[in-house]
Structure 1
Amino acid sequence: MNVFIFSFNFNPVSVKAADQKIAQLNSELSTQKIIQKHCDSYHLCRKVIEDCKSAKDPKAYRTKHQAEYHLHDSLKKELQNLGVTKIPSSDKIKKRIENLESEQTASVREKQGLQEKQKLLNTIQQNFNVLLDAPEMQPPLSEKENTL
């Protein structure tokens, strides 16, 4: 019986690692989108608060814009809970989100490639097992050997 040994460079753990990376990217992407939303709102509230400096009656202005002051404080606290100590610009956050989305797309493609390799390896293993389990066949005798 001829035995063929083949090597297929594939590690099933790679698919799990790709899944974990995709899950981590999804989580980070979700967090960055929340940060973007909070930062955009924070910037708007901040403008209202800064306009208080030029108001004729700062006390009346603050009373009139009390909701913006509360929202500003809440957003600041929420951003600190998310680990944001310095409020980034909207452009920086957008760029970060774009990078995460690109990385996520690449990870999904990588996972799909690994799954295709895994499927091919499974097919090869099934075929190999079928061949091993098949009864051994004798090669046909040539006509010269038949007449001897």
Structure 2
Amino acid sequence: MPDYIINEFVFSDLSDEAIAEIEALTVNGEGIVDFNILLPLPDRLRGEWKDGDMEEVISIWGTKWNAQANPPFKMVKKPGDGRIILRFLTANNKPWHWMTALLAKVQTSVQYTCAGEGNSDGNPPSIIVRKNPSPNAKSKGTRSCSSA
């Protein structure tokens, strides 16, 4: 059984068009984050896995399974609020590769927070903030999330 990472992305100061763009890149028709939208798995990895397939999925998304929504975390947005919040779980790791691909496409401010299940290691959740991004901007972060 995996240890889960709780992930939260908060995009703020957005136009309605920017919100729609983020939603189109990240959220399926049920309002749940779906890594396959931005980084689709090859068809052969969408069914039953063989030896080595999990490592290939991790190399694509940064985590072994698609975003989980149990409890049912969903996208949060309110018309006119100018922000969108994505909350979801991942198994064992943060979705680094998916996150990198998303932030390369969406040039806006974002706060990413994550915490391991129970956060039993005594470390605070990881927080990464990117404000007013430029092509050469680097994210600033704190400790990485751990799941145990």
Query: Fold match, TM over 0.5?
Result: no
TM superposition score normalised by structure 1: 0.23
Higher helix share: 1
Higher strand share: 2
